[in-house]
Structure 1
Amino acid sequence: MDVAHLGHVELLTPRPEESLRFFVDVMGMTESGRRGDSVYLRGWDDYERYSLQLTASSTSGLGHAAFRTRSAQALGRRVAALRAAGHEVWPHEGELGHGTGWRFRDPDGHVFELYWEAEWYEAPPELRPSLKNQAQRFPARGVNVRRLDHFNCLAVDVRGCREFFESTLGLRCTERIELDSGEEAGMWLTATNKSYDFAFTKEAHGVPGRFHHVTFALDSREAILQAADIFLEHGVHIETGPHKHAVQQTFFLYVYEPGGNRVEVANAGARLVLAPDWRTITWTESERRKGQAWGLKTMESFHTHGSPPLPTAPGDDLSEHGIAS
């Protein structure tokens, strides 16, 4: 239990101004700082200064994902565990909003970061809430995302990644998908009593280091239905939903931001895992073929599209929707 929770995610975008407008005007996030090629954004109830780092880049994808530890000692133990297992860990200094981050790569090549020292958000007078146990005033803008909830990476070897995070960071697997061949096609991990903080699913093209989506939490299913109308009014392409996943029972809605990254809004975190001896739920290939919870078949693009894009990959081009690909 050395890892406390998911802290922030860095998204890369080849359309930084358009992506920024999407997250501020449509998603309802608040800008809380700028440095270099990055803009830092937050949901209205994120307690740290930011939960999304949006970085201008030549392509899309995940820059890094960061987790806060429970103490300085916990950070030291996790760094030592990574190194003892033979993994390279390097310091990242001078980042906005937190102290020294210790970065490493998972077996698929994604960059992760651990940190302890964090800057708590102090709302300026115009954003100060009436309720002192709330981080900032409700923005009443766009979708009004409350907080960062989770993210999903694509991986060539899902089982190898799960075992890596379990052994080095002490994370728990709450649910997984195993194909008839014995290959693991999906896994959901948690550091908290949420049912998951992040997931890994099978990469369709055999290319490592790709990203599937980032998810921001809303308060209710009704808020997600309203979000669908807001996306419609702003001309944002809705890939699939609103609907309910069978795995984890998340009520979901997926769209694409202008840079080409998939974004989900959900009432994620509604299920809590309080049992210290939780038994991992395993879904079979035949069970997953039934589609989502109420029978909706999963969109083909959900299995083929990721970021950064594959220029020559069939089914991975979303230009018809005005999405960078």
Structure 2
Amino acid sequence: MTIPHDPDGRRDIAHVGPIELYTPVLDESADFFVRVMGLRAVHRDDSSVYLHTWDDYQSWTLRLIQRDAAGIGRTYLRAAGPEALQRLVAKTGATRVLTDVHNLGEVHVCTDPDGHELGLYWNVEWYRADDTDRPALKNQAAAYPGRGANLRRLDHVNYLTADVPGTSAYLRDVLGARCTEQIVKDDGSPQAIWYSLGNKTYDLVYTEDWTGTRGRLHHVAFATDTREEILRAADVCLDAGVHIETGPHKHAIQQTFFLYVWEPGGNRIEICNAGARLILAPDWKTISWTKEERAKGQAWGLKTIETFHTHGTPVVAPAGDPE
């Protein structure tokens, strides 16, 4: 088969699609996302629960899967079209094809250099609101819920990786993403990278894993409409007994307003508002942050909490340092 040429080369992925999270306490994690975060449970099988954020056009946003340890499962990336999917399959060398993923068409499975599994797809079933959540506005996926943290959509995934330079090259050369910002070490090599798939400031983030382990998760982020909803989410989490790790506050990198909490399974969840910043320049130059600049803390002076550099899922202990 002849694969059509794309002269741009960086528009083959439309956006990050649904994701999977592992949790050892499935029911508790599902309750957290429904009751506290404001998602809607839309499907369930023997070992997992599918959840939907209220303005995701796709039929599900998050699949929680029962596992012994927390962590990230497959991240699905929607191609920009059938021909774009062909190009992605050729570039990634994806040979495994799934036809049984809930409400998705053919999924071509590949892995990044660190072993995180990615699912490339085009065909998808759109969300169908019923009488209980039908929106008044026809250009909205579901009715505005106005409950809990009221999460609107998935925003980004931040993975941990043992090889930041290798992963950076894969994102750039294979997936066609572009690095908008990065943290660099004293020798100039990247320690953390923020990559954009479209005009959002970032979609996929990789941070150096301090344990040297492969395939782990730092956090998954969901977006709200406004900063004020993040402040409300802090009160909602406080009353619900959710562990608030840090925030509300504002990052210096990417200027994201944030709140970090831990869901019952142990995965770190970011509630964020970064929608005001878009990367419209086609020749955007990567912004690099040094160790000295990072030592100043977040945008308004808040020092980064220690667990932000020591907690990832699944939990592992650094060599010679038992957890």
Return the alpha-carbon distance in structure 2 between the equivalents of residues 95 and 89 of structure 1: 16
SS across alignment from 2:253: coil
C-alpha distance in 2 between matches for 1:207 and 1:224: 32
- Aligned partners of 1:122, 1:132: CA distance in 2, in Å? 11
Q: Quick one: structure 1 residues 185 and 316, their matched pair in 2 at CA, closer, same or farther if it must change by over 3 Å?
A: farther
Q: Identify which of 206, 209, 220 aligns with 2:212.
A: 206
Q: 1:304–1:316: 8 Å Cα contact kept in structure 2?
A: no
Identity %: 52
Specify the code of the residue in structure 2 equivalent to 1:154. L
Deviation (angstroms), 1:257: 0.3
Number of equivalent positions: 313
- The C-alpha deviation readout for 1:98-120, integer Å capped at 9, x for no partner, is 10111111111111111000111
Residue 304 of structure 1: how far off its partner (Å): 0.9
CA contact (8 A) 1:177 1:284 kept: yes
Q: Which residue of the partner structure matches residue 235 of structure 1?
A: 241
Residue matched to 1:149: 155
- Contact 1:305 / 1:316 at 8 angstroms: preserved in 2? no
8 Å contact kept, 2:211–2:317? no
Tell me how far apart the structure 2 counterparts of residues 155 and 299 of structure 1 sit (CA, whole Å).
Answer: 20
Instruction: Give the structure 1 partner of residue 14 of structure 2.
Output: 4
| 2:266 equivalent in structure 1 | 260
Structure 1 residue aligned with 2:310, among 276, 286, 304? 304
Aligned to 2:7: none
Question: Are positions 1:117 and 2:127 aligned together?
Answer: no
**C-alpha distance in 2, partners of 1:112/1:286?**
34
- Deviating beyond 2 angstroms after TM superposition, the runs of 4 or more aligned structure 1 residues are 311-317
Q: Does 1:281 align with 2:287?
A: yes
What's 1:323 paired with? none
Residue of structure 2 aligned with 1:45, choices 55, 58, 69: 55
Specify the code of the residue in structure 2 equivalent to 1:45.
Answer: D
Q: Please state how far the C-alpha of 1:314 moved relative to its aligned partner.
A: 8.6
Contact 1:171 1:189 in 2 (8 A): yes
2:129 partner amino acid: A
Q: Deviations over 1:187-233 (max 9, x none)?
A: 01111110001100111111111100001100111111111000000
* 3-state SS, counterpart of residue 126 of structure 1: coil
Match of 1:246 in 2: 252
CA drift at 1:167: 0.7
In 1, Cα distance between the equivalents of 2:293 and 2:165? 19
Distance 1:159 1:311, change over 3 A: closer
1:166 pairs with 2:172: yes
Would the aligned equivalents of 1:60 and 1:308 in 2 still touch at CA under 8 Å?
Answer: yes
Q: Cα RMSD (Å) of the superposition?
A: 1.4
Distance 1:43 1:233 in 2: 22
Distance 1:98 1:283, change over 3 A: same
| Counterpart pick for 1:222 among 228, 231, 239 | 228
Unaligned runs of 5+ in 2: 1-10
Q: Deviations over 1:13-72 (max 9, x none)?
A: 000000000000000001111234121111100110011111111111001111100111
Structure 1 spans left out of the alignment, 5+ residues: 318-325
